[in-house]
Amino acid sequence: MTHGVLLEVAYDGTAFHGWASQQGQRTVEDTLRGAIAAMDPRVTQVRGASRTDAGVHAEGQLAAFDTERDIVAKGWTLGVNQHLPDDLAVRAARAVPAGFSPRFAAAGKRYRYRVLVDEVRDPRWRALAWRIPELDVDAAAAEARAAVGTHDFAAFRASGDERVDTVRTLSRVAVERESDPRVVAFVVEGNAFLYNMVRILVGTLVDVGRGRREAGAVARALAAKDRALAGTTAPAHGLVLEQVRVRLPEGAGDRWPP
């Protein structure tokens, strides 16, 4: 009998060419599918929740697949990990109905973008944060308030995004210091996102915090729907997909680890 398995996946995106399968490139999707196929060769498709870009990291990416093998959630978590490299891991698994797609069941996502405010390079943060020499955190936080709510985010998407519907709802855009006082985190939560939307939004907030754009830049870009009025696209390596919230269907099993 065919049933589904939902995996929670974490990865260091530094050496991956993004999530989505690409011929001749090392991707998260292909690497994960290969590890799953080592346990069940009949698995040929993995359905991801988010197509993260090259260099972007994840702590809570979701991926589902269908199988006829009768293996408990713990077995999938431990078994798939035996076939994965050190920069990719299954953190949890649970049973779901066959055909379940985390992308279409997603109720919201949370991203965290880290900026290292330091005039001197720090190798420990080179793949995890965008280093800039100075930042007015209060100015960036004040600017972030304009992005909260339901808006047309056409100005905050890359040119390759051709979707007609560009209205999205952000429930939270926060700017906060982490335990290392040099590290400033931009936390963005919403129902869905356009291509490069978080990175362009963070880049705009950083531009205001560095005095490169005047306060009110986010509101002006939203109103005009003009990409030229938004800021720079923040580098990929500072971004982490922290969580994908999904509406679980009836019949979903317990998560392991709980």
Closest among 35, 47, 49 to 111, alpha carbons compared: 49
Residue-wise pLDDT tens digits, 190-219: 999 999 999 999 999 999 999 999 999 999
pLDDT at 160 > cutoff 90: no
- For 141-154, what is the mean pLDDT? 98
Q: Is residue 233 in a domain?
A: yes
Q: How far is CA 56 from CA 48, 100, 214, in A?
A: 15, 25, 28
pLDDT at 161 > cutoff 90: no
Kind and range of the H or E element at 30? helix 28-39
Q: How far is CA 190 from CA 197, 237, 251, in A?
A: 11, 20, 27
- For 149-173, what is the mean pLDDT? 94
Confidence of residue 77 (pLDDT cuts 50, 70, 90): very high
Containing domain of residue 235, as a range? 108-241
Q: How much is the pLDDT for 166?
A: 96
- For 127-155, what is the mean pLDDT? 98
pLDDT at 12 > cutoff 90: yes
**Mean pLDDT, all residues of the chain:** 97
Place of tokens 């129902």: 191
pLDDT at 159 > cutoff 90: no
Residues 174 and 91 in one domain: no
Q: Is residue 254 in a domain?
A: no
Residues 99 and 112 in one domain: no
Contacts of 118 (CB under 8 A, 6+ apart): 131, 133, 182
> What percent of the chain lies above the pLDDT cut of 90?
97
Residue-wise pLDDT tens digits, 27-48: 999 999 999 999 999 999 999 9
Q: Tell me how many domains the chain contains.
A: 2
Higher pLDDT, 32 or 160: 32
Residues 225 and 119 in one domain: yes
pLDDT at 162 > cutoff 90: no
- For 3-19, what is the mean pLDDT? 98
Q: How much is the pLDDT for 28?
A: 98
Cα distance between residue 91 and residue 60, in whole Å: 8
Which tokens is 255 given?
Answer: 């998560």
Residues 66 and 18 in one domain: yes
Contacts of 228 (CB under 8 A, 6+ apart): none
Tell me which residues are annotated as active site. Answer: 53
Choose one of 52, 74, 104: the last residue of a domain: 104
Which CATH number covers residue 29? Answer: 3.30.70.580
Residue-wise pLDDT tens digits, 96-131: 999 999 999 999 999 999 999 999 999 999 999 999
Which CATH number covers residue 118? Answer: 3.30.70.660
Q: Is residue 25 in a domain?
A: yes
pLDDT at 86 > cutoff 90: yes
Residues 157 and 227 in one domain: yes
Q: Is residue 251 in a domain?
A: no
Residues 121 and 18 in one domain: no
Residues 144 and 92 in one domain: no
Q: Is residue 136 in a domain?
A: yes
Residues 122 and 227 in one domain: yes
- For 56-80, what is the mean pLDDT? 98
Q: How much is the pLDDT for 251?
A: 86
Choose one of 52, 85, 104: the last residue of a domain: 104
Q: Is residue 71 in a domain?
A: yes
Q: Is residue 209 in a domain?
A: yes
Choose one of 54, 73, 104: the last residue of a domain: 104
Q: Is residue 248 in a domain?
A: no
Residues 169 and 228 in one domain: yes
Residues 67 and 155 in one domain: no
Residues 37 and 137 in one domain: no
Residues 61 and 183 in one domain: no
